[in-house]
């Protein structure tokens, strides 16, 4: 199921949530959880990619959007809002899964020929 390279500490593993985040932007993002002591979680999420992970219910997922030679904190989402639930064998995604919407791209109007 979820790829876990840095497993949760024993005290968090029993109450872990299975979460899903989708990058709906056209930019590369970094997903990071920093508010869980003694645990490191950071993943690159490419445009259109779905990231599934386990985290404690109190965790906050920070989304950093990549810019030229830097990144900015563009969102902070409670992992409890990203929880995947199972009911009758069907998977239902939380309402906040599609939180990162594409930025409105502005372009100059085309000149009439």
Given a contact cutoff of 8 angstroms between Cβ atoms, the answer to whether 79 and 15 are in contact is: no
- Structural domain including 55 reads 1-6+23-82
Is residue 100 included in any domain, yes or no?
Answer: no
The answer to whether residue 37 sits within a structural domain is yes
The answer to whether residue 41 sits within a structural domain is yes
Establish if 77 belongs to a structural domain: yes
Confidence of residue 5 (pLDDT cuts 50, 70, 90): low
Q: What is the pTM of this model?
A: 0.66
Count up the domains in the chain and report the number.
Answer: 1
* Higher pLDDT among residues 47 and 93, named by residue: 47
Q: In angstroms, rounded to a whole number, what is the distance separating the alpha carbons of residues 71 and 82?
A: 23
Instruction: Give the tens place of pLDDT for each residue, 34-64.
Output: 898 888 899 999 999 999 998 988 899 999 9
46 domain-assigned: yes
Helix intervals (H) in the chain: 10-13
The DSSP bridge pattern shows strands 50-56 and 29-33 to be: unpaired
């Amino acid at each position: 199921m979820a790829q876990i390279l840095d497993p949760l500490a024993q005290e968090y593993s029993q109450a872990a949530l299975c979460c899903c985040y989708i990058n709906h932007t056209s930019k590369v993002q970094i997903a990071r959880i920093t508010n869980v002591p003694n645990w490191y979680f950071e993943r690159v999420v490419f445009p259109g990619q779905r990231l599934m992970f386990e985290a404690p219910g109190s965790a906050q997922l920070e989304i950093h959007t990549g810019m030229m030679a830097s990144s900015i904190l563009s969102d902070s989402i409670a992992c409890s809002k990203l929880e995947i639930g199972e009911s009758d064998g069907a998977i239902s995604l939380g309402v906040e899964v599609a939180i990162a919407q594409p930025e409105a791209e502005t372009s100059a109007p085309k000149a009439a020929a």
